[in-house]
Amino acid sequence: MPHINIKHFPGVTQQQEVSLVEGITALLCDTLHCDAGAVSIAMQAVSSQKWQEEVVQKEIESATEQLVKKPNY
């Protein structure tokens, strides 16, 4: 606990990924008072052509009651 699944457009560099994972892990540990070893983070690149179908329809529109921050598109 906790697990984060991040979907993003392709092009994230290795350094960006490392920085993002380190920052999110630190924030989760500080906010939820958990050990860094308990945090898991998955990252998946999704092309802009598939974003609507793979992310918006499957994960955003179908789960609006679970979203704590909604996109403005």
pTM: 0.88
The band of 73, judged by pLDDT with boundaries at 50, 70 and 90, is confident
Q: Which residue in 29, 56, 53, 55 sits closest to 40, CA to CA?
A: 29
pLDDT the model gives residue 30: 98
User: Mind listing the pLDDT tens digit for each residue in 8-64?
Assistant: 999 999 999 999 999 999 999 999 999 999 999 999 999 999 999 999 999 999 999
Scanning the structure block, which residue is given the tokens 């906010």?
Answer: 31
pLDDT the model gives residue 47: 98
